[in-house]
Amino acid sequence: MDENSTNNNNIEINIPPVDFKKIAPMLFLALAAVLLYNSFYTVNANENGVVLRLGKYYLTTQPGLHFKIPFIDTVDRVKVDYQYKEEFGFRTSSAGIKSKFVTRGHADESWMLTGDLNIADVRWVVQYTIKDANAYLFNLRDVGNTIRDVAESTMRLMVGERSFNEVIKLERSKIADDARGKMQEVLDSYKSGVSIKLVQLQGALPPLPVEDSFNMVNIAKQEQETMINEARQQYAREVERAYGEADKMENEAYGYYKERVNQARGDSTHFVQILSEYNNAKAITRDRYYIETMSRVLSKIPDKIIIDSNLENVLPLLNLKTDGGKK
């Protein structure tokens, strides 16, 4: 039994000798192929390549084919011509021609306190691109969350500086523009490598629990504005009519004034002419004007009876002064 155990434990394995001279060319070709494969990399058209040499930033490459040192250089590709989007107060559940959105569970993002101490439900979108791939990768630990935090704090600041009506109606575009500028300023101070392209308010409404009350107040304000506008229009019409009548009366008075002045000037000139003629021939001028005046007066009388001033009786043939018709 001891002999059998000894025979079993002494098994010999014969490994044929390796001829390294024969396999050396094959190993060299395989190593060269691996090195060659890892020496080149491609950057797509919408990307930048960030090259790290031994874990440290080395350079940023543009789209195309590039060389790197194998196993020493590593490349991170970043999409710089891509429009990234962050949604606040809602999420897109399915995108398409008729996109579907979900708002439940995001009230903590959208409910904001306005400057006049009302609550507004503000939903908005932030779109951005990467302008510096190196800064985007290494200056911030989590760029996406940083952008969301900056966007939310900036929008709360913009809303808190305005009244409720300004937020939901009057200054929505201005709020978006101001928020974009403020966000860019903050992110540039962080050296984030991000460019904010658009801030768009998708909706600004009263919260759902008070929406009915808000609508009633809004209707009352619209009716008030309508009545005020109608009163202003009526006022403008009345003022315009009054100004028109005043101008008309002024023009008529001025016309009457000019007429009277011209008439007076004409009468004065005519009187001076008559006076000059009268001084030159008093008797003739007096008789002429007497005759002309009588002609104008008598021409207006249809029936005329001319009586001699020396006539004593109505009938000249009847002597009314004699007794019994006798002389």
The ranges assigned to domains in the chain are 17-79, 84-205
Q: Are 192 and 151 spatial neighbours (Cβ–Cβ below 8 Å)?
A: no
In this prediction, the residues of the chain whose per-residue pLDDT falls under 70 are 1-22, 24, 210-211, 304-327
Nearest to 199 by CA among 141, 160, 148: 148
pLDDT at residue number 140: 92
How does pLDDT run across 188-232, given as a tens digit for each residue?
Answer: 999 999 999 999 998 888 777 766 777 787 788 888 989 999 999
Q: Are 276 and 269 spatial neighbours (Cβ–Cβ below 8 Å)?
A: no
Q: How far apart (Å, rounded) are the C-alpha atoms in residues 65 and 44? A: 9
Nearest to 182 by CA among 126, 143, 229, 131: 126
Which positions ≥6 away from 157 have C-beta within 8 Å? 182
Q: How far apart (Å, rounded) are the C-alpha atoms in residues 158 and 208? A: 22
Task: Kindly state the helix (H) or strand (E) to which residue 134 belongs, with its residue range.
Answer: helix 133-138
pLDDT at residue number 64: 92
How does pLDDT run across 24-44, given as a tens digit for each residue?
Answer: 677 777 777 777 778 889 999
CA 296, 297, 300, 305 dihedral sign is negative
Tokens standing for 132? 């510096």
Region for residue 201 given its phi and psi (left: phi exceeds 0; alpha: psi -120 to 50; beta: otherwise): beta
pLDDT at residue number 145: 94
Q: Counting Cβ atoms within 10 Å, is residue 154 exposed (0-12), middle (13-18) or buried (19+)?
A: buried
pLDDT at residue number 39: 86
Q: How far apart (Å, rounded) are the C-alpha atoms in residues 217 and 220? A: 5
Q: How far apart (Å, rounded) are the C-alpha atoms in residues 131 and 194? A: 6
47: which strand partners? Answer: 79
Q: What is the pTM assigned to this prediction?
A: 0.57
Nearest to 88 by CA among 106, 101, 113, 114: 106
pLDDT at residue number 164: 86
CATH homologous superfamily, domain 84-205: Band 7 domain (3.30.479.30)
pLDDT at residue number 325: 46
Q: Which residue has the tokens 């543009």?
A: 62
